[in-house]
Structure 1
């Protein structure tokens, strides 16, 4: 097959192309096999076209000149129309060669070309492709068509109003694709990250070097990329091309031959799956080490092989993590098979990832094929159909029901008796914003709650902390006293125990050394470190390979620097090496250490901006749309910058910067979060303006759109506004707030902690304006407070409340009721 670096690797990539999950990039070397419109000449390469244009210009060519130079000559001499006509003649109505048609007729997920010619459009039926170019921008990419992206422009567009300026004829203009056409660039990046394989066909070393300045190909992208190079290319050129992926030196003709041969001899299609792969059966490690345990505590990344060793009990000291198998039994036990839809309820940091990791291992041991849903891509649905059609024992694990609500609903509607669907949510069982769980998942649902640890789990925590020396001085306490500490001082919740470990054990020294590594000796790597922390706070949904591209991170240099320092001995040696902080640890670092605020602002703003552009992609932007919601939250920013007046000013500056991006301005959640920032600073006028904007945008989305959070903030705003000493009370505004509050308290789907938090603002209003409030309004306030008291009486601790918050609210409601009763 010629100069192929790895034939098996090429065969695997071709299988993905045949299945429809790969994308291809077409460079100048691909086009030269086609004929031009006249039928007697080949489509010219860049150098050939440059020579032809010098002849057309009728001036002596300048040594070393490029296509850019001659194009600028024509424009400078008012001969742009002549240039456009010639380019149209040579680059449109081309005649594809058979080998090109073979390659192009594959079901590519997307085709990108840096060429101007129309070879792809001539090789494929018009109804099969959707053209996207700098001046042809469809509002929506149709799912039944292959998008064809002209990154540099399209010669066919020359006949329209754009002229030669629509073509990217220079390296500098090439780089402008990123800065001047954000939506096209975002689609470009999204497709790269969504594809299962990437083919670079007909690219020279220079092409790839320029392209690498547009998008940074990190480790994960290189692993799924194949460069189809010229046969017999030199070792130096191949070495440089390897920056983009594995090299197959077979040329366009060789690739076409390989495709035709393999179409009849499938290699990896036995599973019939493209984007969903069954989790592999874990191989127990021979020994669980302190490094394995430190890695779990610090990164939150669960190692199935280590847990498998714990399950086998080969060595009783192989305690890898706190055992949750009693709760897992509720899901996998034959006694519960009458219900096969489960909702795992857990607040952030309360052991959800570890629980799901254990569940996956136990399910595989029990004969299930396990599948993890972690994408909103439309192709996932096809894989789900394939899996369910087999009628075999299988389990689908969906971490975040709300984020993946559509695919969860799709699975729930099709679930057979041997299949299990497990979804997680941060909400309590009765408070889902998108309707009842039974309706969303199309069947009876059983809850498995993780927020409060059982007695067995507390004992398991004690044994775990004792085994690895994390108890330190508290080891002198008896086991009963230690468990009591975990139950009472740590609230019997996973996250409080982990925070305690962060603060009072050898782990705390390790954390300090990690931060010190970046602050004192390696400031050049502070940007990627902060980016990793931001992504971790976003539950690691923002992909590292996207961050590498957006922030132009030198991934190899960053990884090399970490590998040289013993501090990072806990890092994974595989592709997830960069996941070295959990969401909890990221939160801990932002709160405890003085990181450069300017770096945080810059990194965060760029990530949000690029996420917004990516979310505009109708076909592949679903994950980015969900990420954007999380990233823009005011509470997310308080985790980045803290609380207090200085932090509030920083957060306001961040929102001000984000408001410059139109895509962000059109999002009601942005204005809601901006309003919350203003309320924190007591800037009532701006907060009211932004809340009204949020409501307007929400109403535009229609009656089915959930605006509960906006209404909740409006309640607080109106109460705050009327409590101001300088403000003349308006009882109509208070009545609006009380009416909304009454509706929220009566809503069975509303998480009650949110409206009851308004008790704080009611008490402030009563304390400051008791003499100005009319009798009818006071009566309305009393009714609302009675409702709050009734709910609090029925709940020892309100779901989603912070530790001690329910007691505090209960006291505020009691005081406010006394004020009303004595008025």
Structure 2
């Protein structure tokens, strides 16, 4: 079992305090709480209570599974009486102190497989109103103070629920997908697991196979942010096989809930202003990690992976040296390294000489950045659209534009993926801060169709207030045809298309620097290499990445997009005809001529 350090508890306390953690309560969390029929039972204890309720001798149920005893009970007893019995068993009248503390923490979302109303009861004890929801409930639209009872809750229990939504008997468990009849709740649950900073399971035994199946499908990054708090090892038998099962999904803490609560409380941050979770503010650091190896640069163009520090440094260097780079580029171009100023007659007389070791490794996109800045400077532009085809470099362009705006004194934020309620809360907080401080900000949303709800909300706010502008980016094909796009009307737009003459020239030099030209082009003139990119790649980033860099990342994106399109047989036929006409060199004029005859 991995050793837990004090720094771990400090990190967990911070994430819980800032409202970016999800909690999942199992039966062990309710241990020690008292209902109207005594202490809340665990699995075998509930089996015994139902067996007694049915008037059976102990020998008939003591070795049976809870689901089987419940199934028998449903057949032999009046359903209304069963409901009343279950409410006596699971309605809470007293909770433990640590249960109240845990429920009082600002969780992003609360999930449980328990039948009892402990979470709601404990919430009231600490003046926190928590809505009890089941899979039949609508998703919350305004409040994060809810508890989803996946297997049902006695608070909402009616006789007709016993055979289906209240998962107690074997027949109610027939469907292996716990979210089978509620795709919206499944999407939210999966979304919470993916985008929360921390996932805490308390008193959970991994007994529910559907939940374990979901955990099994998650990634290594999910495992690193998941913890299981179970009974103290001093009060339970050693179980190395069981421990190993937990550790396959996250960190196991066999310390008991009380000790965990005390540890978190000790590490609770004093400063409650912990910043935003779903808004990333772009800040230019004085201590940037600017080092990049040649192989990392190659991976950047192949896969789009980059370090923020390096990208910021490249943008800042270009802002500082760009004028002289463009001046030196006139004519035949420039070489990298200390010969970058060879086109300037007297580089030592420059007002701001170029650093001799400056090597541009990022396509500047100066024309598009200047256009975006001009549009944003207009009072009539509150929403700016950024459109470009797959592989055009939209995401990198947004980061370049953001750094440029910050360097000019603007406040810039990127919206991170998350649930709408949490995103909305932070947007409202930001808008209030801007209004109170008489300040302004620019908000970026990349691939905004994947975050349409928050995009629509901010777009609405842009029209209502004067303190924020919005930049929305998506693929050009989506922007021109998707219904979601039509629900947001941008005031202006910037197209990320073909590379400019300067950008293409810089790309030629980067390819030379990395030694990626083919044998036919290696060592050839700058003009010939640039001409190849213009003719064979149409000066497009996508085609250059596929041709020169052989980008598997771009290739896979194209395959996924094409597969989606080819699912439509009609479109598939049209594409076939287009390809045939292209191969046969039949133009639109030829087609018009055929039609005439």
TM class by shorter chain equals 0.7 to 0.9
Residues 1:192 and 2:188 are matched in the alignment: no
The whole-number CA distance in structure 1 between the counterparts of 2:232 and 2:224 is: 22
Residues 1:413 and 2:413 are matched in the alignment: no
1:621-632 correspondence runs (5 A): none
Corresponding residue number in structure 2 for 1:567:
none
The whole-number CA distance in structure 2 between the counterparts of 1:258 and 1:174 is: 40
Measure how far apart 1:31 and its partner are: 1.1
The whole-number CA distance in structure 2 between the counterparts of 1:192 and 1:430 is: 29
Corresponding residue number in structure 2 for 1:457:
503
Corresponding residue number in structure 1 for 2:543:
496
The whole-number CA distance in structure 1 between the counterparts of 2:279 and 2:11 is: 16
The whole-number CA distance in structure 2 between the counterparts of 1:79 and 1:461 is: 78
The whole-number CA distance in structure 1 between the counterparts of 2:576 and 2:367 is: 47
RMSD of the alignment, in Å?
4.7
Native 8 Å contact 1:110 1:147 kept in 2? yes
Match of 1:351 among 377, 389, 393: 393
* Richer in helix (by share): 1
Measure how far apart 1:400 and its partner are: 3.6
The whole-number CA distance in structure 2 between the counterparts of 1:89 and 1:430 is: 56
Measure how far apart 1:231 and its partner are: 3.7
Native 8 Å contact 1:23 1:109 kept in 2? yes
Residues 1:295 and 2:299 are matched in the alignment: yes
Query: Deviations for 1:769-803, whole angstroms, at most 9, x for unmatched residues?
Result: xxxxxxxxxxxxxxxxxxxxxxxxxxxxxxxxx9x
Native 8 Å contact 2:120 2:129 kept in 1? no
1:72-111 correspondence runs (5 A): 72-74=71-73, 78-79=76-77, 81=79, 86-92=85-91, 94-111=93-110
Native 8 Å contact 1:17 1:106 kept in 2? yes
1:63-78 correspondence runs (5 A): 65-74=64-73, 78=76
Match of 2:446 among 389, 393, 399: 399
Measure how far apart 1:213 and its partner are: 2.4
What secondary structure is seen at the aligned counterpart in 1 of 2:116?
coil
The whole-number CA distance in structure 1 between the counterparts of 2:153 and 2:542 is: 55
Residues 1:378 and 2:421 are matched in the alignment: yes
The whole-number CA distance in structure 2 between the counterparts of 1:192 and 1:318 is: 42
Corresponding residue number in structure 1 for 2:134:
133
Match of 1:47 among 41, 44, 47: 44
Native 8 Å contact 1:343 1:429 kept in 2? no
Corresponding residue number in structure 1 for 2:275:
272
1:558-637 correspondence runs (5 A): 582=553, 584-587=554-557, 590=559, 636-637=563-564
The whole-number CA distance in structure 2 between the counterparts of 1:133 and 1:189 is: 16
Native 8 Å contact 2:9 2:263 kept in 1? no
- Tell me: CA distance 1:378–1:315, structure 2 relative to 1, closer, same or farther (3 Å): farther
Corresponding residue number in structure 2 for 1:484:
531
- Tell me: CA distance 1:181–1:344, structure 2 relative to 1, closer, same or farther (3 Å): closer
Measure how far apart 1:121 and its partner are: 3.6
Aligned residues: 535
Query: Deviations for 1:212-242, whole angstroms, at most 9, x for unmatched residues?
Result: 2243342232333333333455694666534
Corresponding residue number in structure 1 for 2:512:
466
Q: Which runs of 5+ in 1 are unaligned?
A: 512-580, 591-603, 605-630, 642-650, 652-672, 683-756, 758-763, 765-801
Native 8 Å contact 2:441 2:469 kept in 1? yes
Native 8 Å contact 1:208 1:244 kept in 2? no
What secondary structure is seen at the aligned counterpart in 2 of 1:149?
strand
Measure how far apart 1:307 and its partner are: 3.2
The whole-number CA distance in structure 2 between the counterparts of 1:43 and 1:93 is: 8
Corresponding residue number in structure 2 for 1:422:
471
Native 8 Å contact 1:402 1:434 kept in 2? no
The whole-number CA distance in structure 2 between the counterparts of 1:492 and 1:469 is: 19
Measure how far apart 1:28 and its partner are: 0.9
The whole-number CA distance in structure 2 between the counterparts of 1:433 and 1:218 is: 31
Native 8 Å contact 2:16 2:105 kept in 1? yes
Q: Which runs of 5+ in 2 are unaligned?
A: 318-336, 338-354
The whole-number CA distance in structure 1 between the counterparts of 2:118 and 2:22 is: 17
Measure how far apart 1:457 and its partner are: 0.6
Native 8 Å contact 1:411 1:421 kept in 2? no
What secondary structure is seen at the aligned counterpart in 2 of 1:320?
coil
The whole-number CA distance in structure 1 between the counterparts of 2:590 and 2:574 is: 20
What secondary structure is seen at the aligned counterpart in 1 of 2:200?
strand
The whole-number CA distance in structure 2 between the counterparts of 1:430 and 1:169 is: 50
Residues 1:440 and 2:489 are matched in the alignment: yes
- Tell me: CA distance 1:460–1:407, structure 2 relative to 1, closer, same or farther (3 Å): farther
The whole-number CA distance in structure 2 between the counterparts of 1:333 and 1:142 is: 37
Corresponding residue number in structure 1 for 2:167:
167
What secondary structure is seen at the aligned counterpart in 2 of 1:57?
coil
- Tell me: CA distance 1:11–1:337, structure 2 relative to 1, closer, same or farther (3 Å): farther
Corresponding residue number in structure 2 for 1:26:
25
Native 8 Å contact 1:80 1:164 kept in 2? no
Query: Deviations for 1:24-53, whole angstroms, at most 9, x for unmatched residues?
Result: 211111112211114xx2111223223444
Native 8 Å contact 1:434 1:440 kept in 2? no
Taking structure 1 as the reference length, the TM-score comes to 0.55
Query: Deviations for 1:628-685, whole angstroms, at most 9, x for unmatched residues?
Result: xxx8xxx5524xx6xxxxxxxxx3xxxxxxxxxxxxxxxxxxxxx5765688899xxx
Match of 1:322 among 363, 375, 396: 363
Query: Deviations for 1:409-461, whole angstroms, at most 9, x for unmatched residues?
Result: 145336757x65433243499968779999835xx64x443212111011011
Measure how far apart 1:402 and its partner are: 5.2
What secondary structure is seen at the aligned counterpart in 2 of 1:215?
helix
Native 8 Å contact 2:280 2:416 kept in 1? no
* Richer in strand (by share): 2
- Tell me: CA distance 1:80–1:241, structure 2 relative to 1, closer, same or farther (3 Å): farther
Taking structure 2 as the reference length, the TM-score comes to 0.73
The whole-number CA distance in structure 1 between the counterparts of 2:375 and 2:472 is: 19
